[in-house]
Structure 1
Amino acid sequence: MKVLIVHAHPEPKSFSSAMKNTAVEAFTQQGHSVQVSDLYAMHFNPVASADDFQKRANPDYCVYALEQRHAVSAGTLSQDIQDELGKLLWCDLLVLNFPIFWYSTPAILKGWIDRVFVSGATYGGKRFYDRGGLVGKRALVSVTLGGQEHMFGEQGVHGPLEDMLKPLLQGTLGYTGFSVHPPFFGWHIPYLSDSERASVMQAWRNRLAGLHEERNWWPQPTLDDFDERLYRLRKQQP
């Protein structure tokens, strides 16, 4: 299996960074090929702009998605995007590893998605969900945060963290065709003892060891359930 780990934490000594290193070690020991995009270490540019195209289809007005499609067919994407897109198309499994910032991803990871999930290569037209450009690939989101688990349940003050991550789990990964594993959460990390952190890391190792057996995908829409307007079809009565 070919694994791409995209890591977004500004501190190399963080628990999140240790999770990235553990994943590299675990997948390598399992015999998989691993590539890592450490976005902060790379000084990855997260800003989508007209500069992302070596030659524009419309030099007077930039419609970003249309320029992406043109650049894919013309081979005129900027080199940093082309390099990351190549990794994305190469992998069988994508791991996104990051701390929760304001119920979401760090800006640098959002920018990686904006620039690398290129229209024409990963989606376009009605190529989305189970017809997306990345169908056949799997994705796993692993996050750390300061909140305690009970704060994010159905009765918790914040509500389910999975709901907050829906733009990523469905709107990005599911939308482009990935089969999405349930996320891994490292709860309350800054406030745990060393032994408690060790337990979380062991749970992460155990999750990675059994990942190939998982089939409980995060639910995504299936286009056959919708009509030409993309409005849900009524189920036939038995």
Structure 2
Amino acid sequence: MNVLIVYAHPEPKSLNGSLKDFSVKRLEEAGHTVQVSDLYAMNWKALLDAHDSVERQAGERFDPSRESKHAYANGLQSKDIEREQEKLKWADAVILQFPLWWFSMPAILKGWVERVYAYGFAYGVGEHSDARWGERYGEGMFAGKRAMLVVSTGGWESHYSSRGINGPMNDVLFPIQHGILYYPGFDVLPPFVIHRTSRVDAAKYAEVSDALGQRLDALWTTTPIPFRPQNDGAYTIPDLTLRADIAPDRVGFAAHVE
């Protein structure tokens, strides 16, 4: 299988850097082909702007969605965007690896998503009617592919528990797992989270890497998070609200998981 690791950490000798190298070795030893997009090493341009199209009318007002759509449809995207899109097409599984900074991904990784997820590629696809509202949330360009987050955080596991001060980890990661990954069709696996990174000594590293190795070995057998598909009847269209009889006792993020 083909695996793409999109990696965002500025220090190669960090815990994240070591675990990224471990993942590549583990996957390759299992017979998989791996590509790594090391965003800091690539000096990835994080800002989505008018320069993402190689040809546009001078002086025209910049409309990000419209210009993304035009550039993607007409082969006018900058080459760095095209290369990352080709990697996504090639991959059977995608791993996003990053430290949790201020309850989200580093800006450089968010910029990768904003630029690579072009209109017509990752969003804005499919029919919009009274029966369907585009190919998304369970459908789309990446349907049939798998995705997983590898996330490190300085906080304790209890800080991200169901009653922890930071909120449950699956709630914290919901915009990424449901919005960035499930939206364009990925089957999203439960995240692999490393807590209290400042306390990872040699013994703890051995424990963490062994657990990560087991998750990588099970990349194609792990049951995905059971997010509700958009176009299978659970949601009314076009308002895209859960039917009254679906999870009537739940609200918020939890309502969108079966």
TM range (shorter): over 0.9
Contact residue 187 and residue 224 of structure 2 kept, 8 A: no
CA distance in 2 between counterparts of 1:103 and 1:223 reads 30
Are 2:152 and 2:194, in contact at CA under 8 Å, matched by a contact in 1?
yes
Answer 1 or 2: which has greater helix percent.
1
Alignment partner, residue 52 of structure 1: 52
- 1:226 equivalent in alignment to 2:235: yes
User: What is the CA–CA distance in structure 2 between the aligned matches of 1:24 and 1:182, rounded to whole Å?
Assistant: 19
Structure 1 stretch displaced more, 43-52 or 23-32: 23-32
Corresponding residue of 1:4:
4
Aligned residue number for residue 177 of structure 1: 185
- Consecutive unaligned residues in structure 1, runs of 5 or more: none
CA apart distance, 1:57: 7.2
Give the TM-score normalised by the residue count of structure 1.
0.93
Letter in structure 2 aligned against 1:228: I
Say whether 1:195 aligns with 2:203: yes
Once the two structures are TM-superposed, the CA of residue 218 in structure 1 deviates from its matched residue by: 4.8
Q: Which stretch shows the higher mean deviation, 160-169 or 226-235?
A: 226-235
- Contact 2:96 / 2:150 at 8 angstroms: preserved in 1? yes
- Counterparts of 1:13-92 in structure 2, within 5 Å, are 13-56=13-56, 60-92=60-92
**Structure 2 CA distance, aligned partners of 1:135 and 1:16?**
28
Please report how far the alpha carbon of residue 183 of structure 1 lies from its aligned counterpart in structure 2 after TM superposition: 0.2
| Cα offsets for 1:36-92 (capped at 9, x unmatched) | 100001100100001000123796122212211111111000011111111111111
Q: Which residue in 2 is equivalent to 1:133?
A: 141
User: Aligned with 1:141: secondary structure?
Assistant: strand
Q: 1:209 Cα shift?
A: 1.3
1:63 counterpart letter in structure 2 = D
The whole-number CA distance in structure 2 between the counterparts of 1:169 and 1:56 is 33
Matched length: 236
Contact 2:54 2:78 in 1 (8 A): yes
Q: Give the alignment partner of residue 142 of structure 1, picking from 150, 171, 186.
A: 150
Once structures 1 and 2 are overlaid, which stretch shifts more, 201-210 or 58-67?
58-67
Q: Give structure 2 stretches of 5+ with no counterpart.
A: 126-133, 247-258
Report the TM-score, using the length of structure 2 for normalisation. Answer: 0.87
C-alpha separation in 1, matches of 2:59 and 2:52 = 13
Distance in 2, Cα, partners of 1:6 & 1:177? 17
Q: Distance in 2 between matches of 1:77 and 1:24?
A: 29
2:17 corresponds to which letter in structure 1?
S
CA RMSD of aligned residues (A): 1.7
1:10-48 CA-partner distances (Å, limit 9, x unpaired): 100011111111111111111111111000011001000
Q: Percent identity?
A: 39
Displacement, 1:227? 2.8
Q: Indicate the residue corresponding to 2:219 in structure 1.
A: 211
Runs ≥4 residues deviating over 4 A: none
